A and B are shown apart, each in its own frame.
Chain A
Amino acid sequence: MAPGEAADDAALVRASQQGDREAFGTLVSRHASSIIGVTTRMLGPTPDAEDVAQETFVAAYKALSQFQFDAKFSTWLYRIALNKCTDVLRARRGETISLDVTDDDGETRWEPADHETPHCTLEQDELACELDRNIRALPPLYRESFVLRHVEGLTYDEMSAILGVHRNTLKMRVYKARNLLCQSLAHLDGVNRWKTTKLR
């Protein structure tokens, strides 16, 4: 987000705090794509993803009076969205999400739930679909870091503000996620689909 847009966000937030619902509608329009992107990457293309995205904005609206302007509005939204995603994932698993995937442990036994597995259609890019599936198969802590870094294009400092985790820890999580994805997609070499794209 451009600095000017962030400043504009602050003005819209102030207007929303005064009860200007049209201003809040503008904020929702502006950030809907990003938040839906994150919830969909985290939860899969399920109704949950859209519900959580909506709940994110509703929760933000209800808590607008607490917004202190010491962070960007988008940072705040990402934080709310990821917390809600964590709640949904916990509910799906019927237990607390495993947090024992330490940053020194490259191995993981995480498997996506069946309903998270997308059904690729002939019209879809099968490789993109496979990549999507493997991103969702990442352990949640790796997944959220990878999505924020490489899908949403945030800096480690921005990610640290969102997740409340030191940037070095986040770098390690992203490193693990990249390696896991490379490993999981290596089988595509055999059908000459994975490395057919020329490097930019």
Chain B
Amino acid sequence: MTGPQRLIQRFIDQELSGEERIDLLTRIGRDQALREQLIDLEHLLVKVDRLARPAVPEGFVAGVIDRTAPEPKTFVVRRATEVLWMPRVFRWNFAGAMVAAGIALLAVAGVTTRVLPGLPIDRPGAMTPPAPATTAVLIRLVVLQPGARTVEVAGDFNGWDPTRTPLEQLSGGAWTVTLPLVPGRYEYMFVVDGKEWIADPFALEQSDDGFGSRNAVLDVRPPIESSL
């Protein structure tokens, strides 16, 4: 690049000082080729300045936003979520209901013996077995009796009174009650509609009641903290 050409380029870029501008104007007044070069460049930049800017296509911004949306869950995760949160209606038969009740009872007993110690106990009457520990645990009994109007529980812990400990009805024919019991061994039966006595058929243990029926046996163990 020659000196005059450098001046032209700097003129185009508007970088010339006042003296340099005078120098350039003097040169192009004497040099026709230099003058035409400058005019060509100015023509070029005028045309470039008038070039239309490409239009932003319709939907361009929305397209970008769509593409930056959070990644959808994979099929497996989405399907698992649907399965877990899908509302269901359970249809129970007696055997299935008893299995569920037994599992629920065991699960609740297992959990409550570890996490709910220390609650006061309403001590049973004369038939209350001796309790080796003074702390009580909450035991939740569950039974499925879809057609029942009332369900109560009678056992060692309430003097076998069939009216003293009613169960609360849940949806799906389930009935439940939560009892604070000190660790020990208890026998009990459910009383349906005030007249039908049934044992919990899936209790871990049953015993002969001496009258031709069998009672369910509940073995309440002390909380872990108490046993340490």
Main SS at interface, chain A: helix
- Asked if B48 contacts A54 (CB within 8 A), the reply is no
- Asked if B47 contacts A127 (CB within 8 A), the reply is yes
Give the complex CA separation of A83 and B47 in angstroms.
27
Q: CB-CB < 8 A to B42: which residues of A? A: 199
Nearest opposing residue in chain A for B5, CB measure: A175
Expressed in whole angstroms, the minimum distance between the Cβ of B40 and any Cβ of chain A is 5
**B54 close to chain A: CB less than 8 A:** yes
Q: CB-CB < 8 A to A21: which residues of B? A: 65, 68-69
- Asked if B63 contacts A150 (CB within 8 A), the reply is no
Main SS at interface, chain B: helix
**B228 close to chain A: CB less than 8 A:** no
- Of the four ranges (under 10, 10 to 19, 20 to 34, 35 or more), the interface on chain B belongs to 20 to 34
Give the complex CA separation of A62 and B64 in angstroms.
12
Expressed in whole angstroms, the minimum distance between the Cβ of A34 and any Cβ of chain B is 8
**B79 close to chain A: CB less than 8 A:** no
Q: CB-CB < 8 A to B40: which residues of A? A: 182, 186, 195
Q: A54, A58, A150: which contacts B45 (Cβ < 8 A)?
A: A150
- Asked if B13 contacts A28 (CB within 8 A), the reply is no
**B27 close to chain A: CB less than 8 A:** no
Of residues 1 through 55 on chain B, the ones whose CB sits less than 8 Å from some CB of chain A are 1, 9, 12-13, 37, 39-55
Give the complex CA separation of A32 and B42 in angstroms.
29
Chain A residues with CB under 8 Å of chain B are 21, 24-25, 28-29, 32-33, 36-37, 40, 45, 49-50, 53-54, 57-58, 61-62, 127-128, 131-132, 135, 150-151, 156, 171, 174-175, 178, 181-182, 185-186, 194-195, 197, 199-200
Pick 16 A–B contacts, CB within 8 A, sort by A.
Answer: A29-B61, A33-B53, A33-B54, A36-B55, A45-B54, A57-B64, A61-B64, A62-B68, A127-B47, A132-B51, A151-B48, A171-B9, A178-B45, A182-B44, A197-B46, A199-B39
